[in-house]
Structure 1
Amino acid sequence: MGLLSRSLSLTAVSLAALIVAQGGAQAGAFALREQSATAQGYSFAGAASGSGYLSSMFWNPAVITMAPGWQSEWHASLIIPRVDINPLPSVPTFALGGSGDIGEDALVPAGYSSYQINDMFWVGLSSTSPYGLVTDPRQNWSGQLYSRSSRIFSVNVNPVLGVKVNDWFSFAVGPSLQYFDIRLKRAVPFPGAPAASATLPGAPSAILDGDDVGFGFTAGVTITPFAGTTIGIGYRSQVEHELEGDLSAPFGSIGPFARVPITAKLKTPDQVTIGISQVITPAITVHTGFEWTNWSVLKTPLVIGPGGVAVTDIPLNYEDGFFYSVGADYKLNDQWTLRAGVAYEESPIDTEIRSTRLPDNDRIWASVGASYQWNDRLSFDVAYTHIFSKETDIRILPGHQDFEGLPYLADVDSSVDIVSASLRYRWDDPKVAIPAVPLVRKY
């Protein structure tokens, strides 16, 4: 099988896996950080400086210049969240009870390939799911006026070109194509009944559904100022989507039609990731990481119906998100490498805007992982993470962006476990060197 046909086949397999997967957001807001089993073992410390091997290209595409020959990786993360929203006794709908566990287990796959053309140029391709969310409370519960179920799904395909300028500096850039789909559901009044009927058991639902394909780009650099030190800086651009779909509800609750076509403009945020990896001894390497995500770009997208009239909106108004991490690995022998890491994440969501759809908060990540080198071409990675969330509450009162005339106060009990695994394979013979070309040198 030729290079092109095999690469296309691998991409098709990765995309098929992504399409059947459902995402459970386990980064700030509705982002998915689980793109690498290897980097997860460090709590993503050094992800931009290559701690995740080839999968680090999700954060910094320039790391493909660190992957010799022709390589591919396949990663899968099983996210197991537990999120319960428990209303306070003062809530008017307290008798309907809590949400139950709104978290949905999710399998998030990712695929990466790179090919070294010569000593200067690399090409690569990734297929990932950078955004995802599924929350599904009981159909009848105390907060049904504000949410029933929520789903966000995405697929991103990103080809890149990497250039190794010299021994200490590389860069890469590439376009990204992103499919984004959203479906939001909440209770509404019975047709012809008062607004308060939306809080009754059996109340009907309004469903907002839309999708779109948008375009962006990724770029990054790696710098090796000293032997054993690698600095990586990666950038993922905003992607603007004009969602097209429909808003449906029982006859009479949103106008003369049970279903109306809608559009809504929404931007997914840009992101900067910085990583530093430092070799301490031949067996020990330490990694650190920092990530900024521009969640404040979301604002409040208007949902536009027939005639250009706004029929509702999607109140988001997030703050920016920040992620700080540190980790290390220990090369036990030629086959086994052990790793661990911790991270602190500042959520873009606080009590002023926290909703029943996404009761997110600051959290601490604790991770362990291991790699096993089966032979000079094949290796495996596994990782486990537990996420500890801060004490979280929901306070939807007058002045809150979600307030619909009914106060809703609740406490949130949540925790997350993540188990990941990957397979890394080198298609060419590692013993055959890539033909050398003259490199540009710094003088």
Structure 2
Amino acid sequence: MKKITLQTTIAITAAIASSQLLANGYALNEQSISAMGTGFAGRASSADDASTVFGNPAGMSRLKRQQVTGGIAAIDSKSDISNANGNRVGTNNGDMVPFTTVPMGFYVTPLDDKWTFGLGVYTPFGLNTEYESTFQGRNFGSKSKIKVVTFQPTISYAFNDNVSIGFGPTINRISSTLESSFKTAFSPNDGQVRIKGDDIGYGYNFGLLVQASETTRVGLTYHSKVNYTLKGNTSVIPGAGTPAPVLLAGRYEASLKIQTPESWDLSVTQQLNHAWTLYAGTTWARWSRMKNITVNNANVTGGALAPDAFTTITEEQNLRDTWTYSIGTSYQLNKQWMLRTGLTFDQSPTNNIDRSPRMPTGDRTILSLGAGWSPTEDLTIDVAYFYRKEEKVSVNNSNQFPFGQTYSADYKNSANGLGIGATYRF
């Protein structure tokens, strides 16, 4: 079997990791609007509402009433592309991420003084990028749409008033569509490769929450890795005018094994006085498992140009482990209003050699603001806003025969996010 490196077509995992939607690598943070207001500092130690099902399952033990928390975050992203160069003619408009929304929903009910049950539906990973059809770097990724939806039943147990644990299996469905263009000397027109696939994978979340003192609470959460074998199809559409013996069009059964990384989230919630609370946290994610991504296509019969060109499609990733650091605070203005703010520093898993237009990510700094309004003891409405700015990064891509395409450019990315949610207690 002949293997050919073809960055024009694939990187399911790389595609997931587009910088505009995502925080650490391709892990979405938007599972809680209240936590969003503090830059997700204290996410594993706060347990303010039912979204703790994700943030720390052990935190459910602190919720003494049945409650439902839901919300939606909207993200508006911007990319400036400069110093673009390559052997294809095209445009570099940037702004390849459509206006995007991320919904979430959670339910928690105490069973007795020790046990609490919860459910969560959320999106832990996702991507939606689409460059203009004339994008100069279209051979290295033109469209990427990935979505992971997770369902998590959860249980927590309180040993006493100070220590609790929580556990929840996760059922995760991933679906993907990736598109890229390719160009050969045998046709003046672009060809297209489209890869679609989906799968269901299983994992788990585990949490520990400790009330270290009357004013200090420490939380630790582990999110497991999840293995997927995506199955679907690869469609190869040569450019119009390509001689049939040169490169044969086709639709082939495709499979790809990927693994979403495990992560640890450690945070502290420190009550300073009756009004002020301080939050701090750090998250480590193990991206270094992802050395390369390979798609295997069955029963491929290519043309004379490259008989097995689409049998195995591989892209190097060589991602690195990442750390995220966050600090935030909240101020209880009065019985009805709580104000929040936070600052986050987030590493990107990409490196300067393998970075591509699918994931032109750099280290990022995020400023967050938020507020919670409780018109009654049963209802709280949360709003949050963030501004995310990334360091300037470069991509420098090329691929081998029979395509021989190149593209390099500088990217500068930023995003604005707005979230609104509500918690109702029964």
Taking structure 2 as the reference length, the TM-score comes to 0.87
Alignment of 1:294 onto 2:286: yes
Q: Partners in 2 of 1:365 and 1:24 — Cα distance? A: 12
SS in 1 for 2:51: helix
- The structural deviation recorded for 1:396 is 2.1
- Matching residue within 27, 34, 39 for 2:23: 27
* 3-state DSSP of counterpart to 1:354: coil
Deviation at 1:166, TM superposition (A): 0.9
Counterpart Cα distance in 1 of 2:86 and 2:407 = 6
Instruction: Report the Cα distance in structure 2 between the residues aligned to 1:320 and 1:307, rounded to whole angstroms.
Output: 36
State how far apart, in whole Å, the 2-side matches of 1:285 and 1:306 are.
57
Q: Distance in 2 between matches of 1:223 and 1:124?
A: 19
**More moved, 302-311 vs 352-361:** 302-311
**In structure 1, how many angstroms separate the alpha carbons of the residues matched to 2:170 and 2:158?**
21
Question: What is the aligned counterpart of 1:271 among 258, 263, 279?
Answer: 263
Deviations 1:159-192 (A, max 9, x none): 1110001111100111100001121111023xxx
Kindly provide the amino acid, as one letter, of the partner of residue 180 in structure 1: I
Aligned-residue offset at 1:404: 6.0
**Which region of structure 1 is more displaced relative to structure 2, 225-234 or 296-305?**
296-305
Report the Cα distance in structure 2 between the residues aligned to 1:397 and 1:177, rounded to whole angstroms.
38
CA contact (8 A) 1:45 1:51 kept: no
- 1:409 counterpart residue number: 408
Amino acid at match of 2:185: P
Structure 2 distance, partners of 1:339, 1:254, is 61
Which structure has greater strand proportion? Answer: 2
CA 122–67 in structure 1, closer or farther in 2 if over 3 Å, else same: same
The Cα shift of 1:412 comes to: 1.0
Change (3 A) 1:59 1:256: same
1:44 paired to 2:45: no
Aligned to 1:342: 343
Over aligned residue pairs, what C-alpha RMSD do you find? 2.3
Secondary structure of 1:226's aligned partner: coil
Give, as a single letter, the amino acid of the residue that structure 2 aligns with 1:284: W
Contact 1:59 1:236 in 2 (8 A): no
Residue 13 of structure 2: aligned partner: none
Counterpart amino acid of 2:408?
Answer: L
Is 1:194 matched with 2:185? yes
Whether the aligned pair in 2 keeps the contact of 1:38 and 1:51 (CA below 8 Å) is no
Q: 2:303 matched to which residue of 1?
A: none
Equivalent in the alignment of 2:148: 154
Deviation at 1:264, TM superposition (A): 0.8
Answer whether contact 1:24 1:105 (CA < 8 A) is retained.
no
CA contact (8 A) 1:86 1:99 kept: no
1:306 aligned to 2:298? yes
Secondary structure at the aligned position of 1:129 is classed as strand
Distance in 2 between residues matched to 1:417 and 1:222, nearest whole Å: 32
Bigger Cα displacement from structure 2, 246-255 vs 51-60: 246-255
Q: Deviations over 1:292-325 (max 9, x none)?
A: 1112223323212226995212433311121100
2:253 matches 1:261: yes
Map of 1:96 onto structure 2: 90
Report if aligned partners of 2:252, 2:299 keep a CA contact under 8 Å in 1: no
Q: Distance in 2 between matches of 1:270 and 1:346?
A: 16
Residue aligning to 2:225: 238
SS in 1 for 2:140: coil
Q: Tell me the CA shift for residue 37 of structure 1.
A: 0.9
Per-residue CA shift, 1:399-440, capped at 9, x if unaligned?
A: 9xx99633321011321000001010012xxxxxxxxxxxxx
* Displacement of 1:121: 0.2
- Number of residue pairs matched? 394
Distance 1:258 1:113 in 2: 47
Q: Decide whether the 8 Å contact of 1:145 with 1:187 is kept in 2.
A: yes
Residue 209 (structure 1) aligned with residue 209 (structure 2): no
Equivalence for 2:388: 387
Unaligned 5+ segments in structure 2 are: 1-18, 239-243, 301-307
Q: Report the equivalent of 2:325.
A: 324
What SS does the aligned partner of 2:292 have? coil
Partner of 1:282: 274
Q: Per the alignment, do residues 330 and 254 of structure 1 end up closer, same or farther by CA in structure 2, a change over 3 Å counting? A: farther
Q: Which secondary structure does the structure 1 equivalent of 2:353 belong to?
A: coil
Equivalences for 1:22-171 in 2 at 5 Å?
Answer: 25-50=21-46, 52-88=48-84, 90-93=85-88, 95-171=89-165
In the other structure, the counterpart of 2:213 is: 226
Query: For the Cα contact (< 8 Å) 2:288–2:320, is it kept in 1?
Result: yes
Counterpart of 2:415 in structure 1: which amino acid?
V
- 1:110 & 1:69 partners in 2: Cα distance? 20
Is residue 48–residue 57 contact of structure 1 (8 Å, CA) maintained in 2?
Answer: no
Distance 2:25 2:81 in 1: 17
Normalising by structure 1, we get a TM-score of: 0.84
Q: Percent identity?
A: 28
Opposite residue 339 of structure 1, the aligned amino acid is: R
Quick one: structure 1 residues 181 and 87, their matched pair in 2 at CA, closer, same or farther if it must change by over 3 Å? farther
Q: Is the 8 A contact 1:84 1:102 kept in 2?
A: no
Residue identity matched to 1:141:
F
| Amino acid across the alignment from 1:73 | T
Q: CA deviation at 1:257?
A: 5.1
Query: Deviation digits for residues 84-141 of structure 1, max 9, x if unmatched?
Result: 33343x5333x41214321211110010111101110000011001111111111122
Asked which structure has the greater RCO (Cα within 8 Å, sep 6+), the reply is: 2
8 Å CA contact 1:181, 1:211 repeated in 2: yes
Distance across 2 between alignment mates of 1:92 and 1:316: 23
